[in-house]
Structure 1
Amino acid sequence: MSKALDGHRARKRFGQNFLQDEMVIDAIVDAIAPEPGQPLLEIGPGLAALTRPVVQRSGHLHVVELDRDLANRLEKSAEFAGKLTVHRADALKFNFADLAASLGTPLRVFGNLPYNISTPLIFHLLSHVNTISDMHFMLQKEVIERMAAEPGSKAFGRLTVMIQQACEVVPVLEVPPEAFDPAPKVDSAVVRLLPYAESPWPVKDRATLNHVCHMAFHQRRKTLRNNMKKLMSAEELESLGIDPAARPETLSVADFVNMANWITENNRTL
């Protein structure tokens, strides 16, 4: 590890777990497959475990880093002089669309995401998904299982629907706790998210879809008739071919999109 980035202690408030296994790092970088001239953006570069090999392949990299100490280290490192653009920002508030517009091309986004903000960060990225060409993230294995879940499984939920409506989900590899310092108490994995140019399930308003999913899954053991009654009647659900007595996890992504589009078309108040 570069001495310029050495000696930093992980901060719990930032959810920092630093990747240190060289074989895992190589596998992730191979999965990203960075090339010179590509608009690459890393979220939370930390101690530069992924930053270093990606820069070596691409020549330049944008990074979003909230930790001021780490941002300082990256900016002052001779190793990265002229090769790194550091955005001192909270990724949850960062405008990915503005950066893509300034670069004139969709972004390739990757990172070892802090577990404590991974789901809200994914939802934030979905709001900018039209300006992103692909994403590679290290996450809790359980989160990736939810992303890739099939209808009928316990893992199928709001995150599943929101991600699968917008992106193809490709699990890449699993990563054990000992690959990190400090070692997390959960297993990790890497996922590739490929935003659709045209979704198989076009949605008129993604915020409405998110609200529908929230309502449907808020009480998973209850039926759609109960969970959706403030937005749709049992008869209206049936008109879409949806059984009001069904539980939410048994529906398909298409079913949720159809509900959201119906609500938008009928101007139902959320």
Structure 2
Amino acid sequence: MHNPDLPSGGHRAGADDALLGAAEVRALAELVGVRPTKQLGQNFVIDPNTVRRIVASAAVTADEHIVEIGPGLGSLTLGLLETGAAVTAVEVDAVLAGRLPATIAAHQPSAVGRFEVVRADALTVAELPTPPDALVANLPYNISVPVLLHFLAAFPSLKRALVMVQSEVADRLAAAPGSRTYGVPSVKAAWFAEVRRVGAVGRNVFWPAPNVDSGLVELVMRRPPREQAGRTAVFAAIDAAFAQRRKTLRAALAGWAGSATRAGEILEAAGIDPRLRGEAIRIDDFVRLAAAHDPR
């Protein structure tokens, strides 16, 4: 995958009929009577150059099946289809989901057979028509982390993901142990993948323009260390460690372990200093911690 810093301008330089520019996005929205809503975290990309840079960063190839979450009016969808890949778009809004096939047919008629829209809540969808190879999406800002973690858990066929999220969330997902931004999203994402931030996206490429900048996050899947402890057990330890992140692990894990004394014993059995805080340890440490808490 590439490593671009995306422009903040919303101009149509380089746009063509295959993608949507600002005028087309607004016209489509008016046609179907849709206004972007904060409730659904909707911010539509209106710059074709930005779409192509995102697709290039995701390194999408023609032989892949891509899943997109929250396609909206189809800006990124068209960019993904332009590569020759097959795309399944998951959209909760009935009006937007209903309009997408017509938009694809109008702008890229040759791609109709490679596109399918699934009307579903991305937080609960558990099955897709075809197992996806990669996830590429402009995630709804208000539910970006829960949606991402749900898809990583629900679709083990995924080999990688490239998601656009709020800049602060991008920092959290890609944070390393010891940093102030390292927390629950960082560790849980690391269970599934190697995670890094790969680009910045300005505000003016969206309609409406959000009050925050955006970031691109790349996830390359790795085999979760399930042999020692399962995901549910590991995630319970993560949640407990960060529920009171200013406390030492011995104190923060007291409720999870049954007592501070027992927490200290489990930490020592896992080879972790009880005086550390959650922000100091890695996903592999949490795996050993969960395994020591409930030996198989």
| TM-score, normalised with respect to structure 2 | 0.81
Structure 1 residues 83 and 156 mapped into 2: Cα distance closer, same or farther (>3 Å)?
A: same
Q: Which amino acid aligns with 2:229?
A: K
Q: 1: distance between equivalents of 2:155 and 2:95?
A: 30
Deviation at 1:59, TM superposition (A): 5.2
* Bigger Cα displacement from structure 2, 235-244 vs 157-166: 235-244
Deviation at 1:161, TM superposition (A): 1.0
2:171 equivalent among 129, 145, 151: 145
Q: What residue number does 1:229 align with?
A: 254
Q: What residue number does 1:217 align with?
A: 242
Structure 1 residues 40 and 139 mapped into 2: Cα distance closer, same or farther (>3 Å)?
A: same
Q: What residue number does 1:244 align with?
A: 274
Q: What residue number does 2:200 align with?
A: 174
Q: 2: distance between equivalents of 1:259 and 1:108?
A: 31
Verify: 1:39 aligned to 2:65, yes or no. yes
Deviation at 1:75, TM superposition (A): 2.5
Q: What residue number does 2:233 align with?
A: 208
Deviation at 1:248, TM superposition (A): 1.2
Q: 2: distance between equivalents of 1:116 and 1:206?
A: 24
Verify: 1:5 aligned to 2:31, yes or no. no
1:118 equivalent among 139, 144, 158: 144
Q: Which amino acid aligns with 1:261?
A: A
Partner SS state of residue 50, structure 1: helix
Q: What residue number does 2:289 align with?
A: 259
Q: 2: distance between equivalents of 1:83 and 1:243?
A: 53
Deviation at 1:55, TM superposition (A): 1.0
Deviation at 1:255, TM superposition (A): 1.4
Partner SS state of residue 127, structure 1: helix
Structure 1 residues 106 and 46 mapped into 2: Cα distance closer, same or farther (>3 Å)?
A: closer
Structure 1 residues 264 and 107 mapped into 2: Cα distance closer, same or farther (>3 Å)?
A: farther
2:122 equivalent among 91, 101, 106: 91
Q: 1: distance between equivalents of 2:119 and 2:141?
A: 20
Partner SS state of residue 26, structure 1: helix
Runs of 5+ consecutive residues of structure 1 not aligned to the other structure: none
Partner SS state of residue 159, structure 2: strand
Aligned Cα root-mean-square deviation (Å) = 2.1
Partner SS state of residue 191, structure 1: strand
Structure 1 residues 61 and 29 mapped into 2: Cα distance closer, same or farther (>3 Å)?
A: same
Q: 1: distance between equivalents of 2:227 and 2:176?
A: 19
Deviation at 1:145, TM superposition (A): 1.0
* Bigger Cα displacement from structure 2, 112-121 vs 13-22: 13-22
Q: What residue number does 2:12 align with?
A: none
Deviation at 1:17, TM superposition (A): 0.6
Q: Which amino acid aligns with 1:5?
A: L
Q: 1: distance between equivalents of 2:172 and 2:274?
A: 24
Q: Which amino acid aligns with 2:190?
A: Q
Deviation at 1:190, TM superposition (A): 0.8
Structure 1 residues 149 and 203 mapped into 2: Cα distance closer, same or farther (>3 Å)?
A: farther
Q: Deviations over 1:123-169 (max 9, x none)?
A: 21232252211111000111121111111111111111111122011
Q: 2: distance between equivalents of 1:89 and 1:218?
A: 31
Q: 2: distance between equivalents of 1:164 and 1:209?
A: 12
The percentage of counterpart residues that share the same residue type is 37
Q: 1: distance between equivalents of 2:48 and 2:63?
A: 25
Deviation at 1:22, TM superposition (A): 2.7
Partner SS state of residue 45, structure 1: coil
Q: Count how many residue pairs are aligned between Structure 1 and Structure 2.
A: 260
Q: 1: distance between equivalents of 2:142 and 2:274?
A: 35
Q: What residue number does 1:53 align with?
A: 79
